[in-house]
Chain A
């Protein structure tokens, strides 16, 4: 399967890559062939700073189960942190 399903959005924060920290401004989320992971298809996230060129990117390729568990964990942690700036 090659879904072509891609979502992009602005984000605010930082991500660390091999050359150091990147103040990221954009994210892409898609389900497609990975470059490096061994599953046929993975949930892929690119945290990017396009202003610094295409290499200013931290890429993540997770199995669908891992991605779902991570997403649920993120939402759970944010919910538990309501009142501490995560509302």
Chain B
């Protein structure tokens, strides 16, 4: 079995005709396959998210992560870019959706594409994935402990508006993965998201892990919970295996 992948940086046109950077990893085989767009978390376009992208390629998908902070500059380190974006109040949802749409279109345009693309995000990226499911023509959405889908907008990050009222606009199946020790979102907030999707008649499945809090997928952090993370990855591969089948 050939498990070769190729990982590289590409440049494409994002929201507002801006040039954006994107990390792409692809299996080096010829069969047609689905794509996965990763939305990085608020701390930025970091090594951890790029590792997720390579993991998806290793699992057989064309995977990509657009740098939502590309406009800060090409040669700026991800942590410096994140510090600037945070100080400036975050990135507007409209711009994020424009950049994610460009990433989705890029993957659909690859010769290996079967036309189907999922969006996945952790933390703030989980929130933006929920919005992508309500905004963009995608085939599946994976929300990993998305904060502020429900709740109050932090005064210093006005871009983080709650999204629960967008549940009726969701256009694809949603997989949600949450830790029961998390405070952003709390288990009660996850209940609210679950109910909003149920009330709107949207296909979704939520899995919630005891003994896991926020960022339980992050192997370099003390928040990592191996049982939750490995079960979560299994759920992700099962979900996209169904939703992105050609």
Q: Give chain A's interface residues, CB within 8 Å of chain B.
A: 1-8, 26, 28, 30, 32-33, 35, 38-40, 46, 48, 50, 53-55, 57, 59
CA distance A2 to B182 in the complex (A): 9
Q: Report yes or no: A4 in contact with B154, Cβ–Cβ below 8 A.
A: yes
Q: Please give me the residue from chain A that is nearest to B157 by CB atom.
A: A4
Q: Which of A30, A35, A55 contacts B46 (CB 8 A)?
A: A35
Whether B76 lies near A4 (C-beta < 8 A) is no
> Taking A2-B147, A33-B43 as contacts, is the C-beta distance between A39 and B84 under 8 angstroms?
no
Does B160 lie at the interface of the complex (its beta carbon under 8 Å from any beta carbon of A)? yes
Report if A5-B156 is in contact (Cβ < 8 Å); known contacts: A54-B73, A55-B76.
Answer: yes
Q: Mark B40-82, 1 if CB is under 8 A from A, else 0.
A: 0111001000000000000000000000000011001101110
Docked complex Cα distance between A7 and B223 (Å)? 25
Instruction: Report whether A53 and B83 are in contact in the complex, using a CB–CB cutoff of 8 Å.
Output: no
Inter-chain contacts of A38 with B (CB < 8 A): 221-222
A-B contact pairs, 30 of them (CB 8 A): A1-B182, A1-B183, A1-B213, A1-B214, A2-B123, A3-B184, A5-B154, A6-B154, A8-B87, A26-B87, A32-B42, A33-B221, A35-B43, A35-B46, A35-B79, A38-B222, A39-B222, A40-B214, A40-B222, A46-B83, A46-B87, A48-B83, A48-B87, A50-B87, A53-B73, A54-B81, A54-B83, A55-B76, A55-B77, A57-B80
Docked CA distance A39–B86 (Å)? 20
A1 to B223, CA, bound (A): 10
Within the complex, which residue of A2, A8, A48, A59 is in contact with B214, where a contact is CB–CB below 8 Å? A2
Other-chain contact of B72, A5, A7, A48, A54 (Cβ < 8 Å): A54
Point out the residue from B43, B46, B76, B182 that lies within 8 Å of A32, measured CB to CB: B43
A9 to B8, CA, bound (A): 38
CA distance A15 to B229 in the complex (A): 39
1/0 per residue B175-193: CB within 8 Å of A? 0000000111000000000
Q: Which residues of A contact B73 (CB under 8 A)?
A: 53-54
Partner pick for B42 among A2, A26, A55, A59, CB 8 A cutoff: A2
* B124 on the A face (CB < 8 A): yes
- Shortest distance between the CB of B218 and any CB in chain A (Å): 8
Which residues of the other chain, B, contact A4 by a CB distance below 8 angstroms? Answer: 42, 124, 147-148, 154, 156-157, 160, 184
Alpha-carbon separation in the docked complex, A5 to B90 (Å):
12
B residues near A1, Cβ cutoff 8 Å: 182-184, 213-214
Residues of A within 8 A of B148 (CB): 4
Closest 8 CB pairs of A and B: A54-B84, A6-B156, A54-B80, A4-B154, A40-B223, A1-B183, A28-B87, A46-B83
Q: Does B22 interact with chain A (Cβ within 8 Å)? A: no
